[in-house]
Amino acid sequence: MRLSKQTNYAVRTLIYCALNHPELSRVPQVAKAFGISDMFLFKIIIPITRNGFLETVRGRRGGMRLARPANQIRLVDVLAITEDGFALSECMAEDRETCPFRDRCAYTRALERALAAFMDVLGEYTIADLAHSPATLKAALGVELLEADEP
C-alpha cells in the first residue's frame, strides 16, 4: 500500500497550518516550503477545505488556516477524503465479481484485518500529535525564513 502524494501534502499542509496557528498560511509560502507548485497545492486544499479541515480567507492578505483545533483533526479522516480507496487487492473492491472466491477466502479476511488495524492506528493520531515539535518542524520547513520574505 502506498499513500498518494495528494494525501501526503494534504497532511503536511494541515501540519503547516497548525504550526502557523493562529496566523493565516499563504499558498505560495506553503508550496515553496514543500517544493510544489501553487496549482498542485490548490488542488490539494479543495477537498480538505470542502470537508471542514481548512478554511480559506480571500483577498490580498488572505490565506488558509485550520477550520477546527488541530487535536480534532484525525489523520484517518484526512486519508479518507484524499485517497480514492483502500482496497488492498481486487478482491476487496466493491465489485468483487472478478474473484471466484468472493467472500469465502482467508486471504481477503487477512487483508481486511490488516487494513482495519492500519486504520485503527491512524485513527489514534491527530494533526496536533503530528505537529508536536513546533520549533523543529518550523526549522525544517523554513517557516520563519518564508515569513520574513513576505512583502
* Domain CATH for 30: 1.10.10.10
How many domains would you assign to the chain? Answer: 1
Tell me whether residue 22 is in a domain: yes
Tell me whether residue 95 is in a domain: no
Q: Determine the pLDDT at residue 96.
A: 58
Count of beta carbons in the 10 Å neighbourhood of residue 85: 9
Tell me whether residue 45 is in a domain: yes
By 3-state DSSP, what share of the chain in percent is helix, strand and coil, each rounded to 5?
Answer: 60, 5, 30
10-47 in b/e burial notation, b at 16+ Cβ within 10 A?
Answer: bbbbbbbbbbbeeebbbbebbbbbbebeeeebeebbee
pLDDT band (50, 70, 90) for residue 105: confident
Tell me whether residue 32 is in a domain: yes
| pTM given for the model | 0.84
Which of 8-12, 22-26, 119-123, 133-137 is predicted least confidently?
Answer: 133-137
Structural domain for 10, as ranges? 5-85+126-148
Tell me whether residue 115 is in a domain: no
* 141 touches 19 (CB < 8 A): yes
Please give the single-letter amino acid code of residue 59.
G
Average pLDDT in the 76-101 region? 79
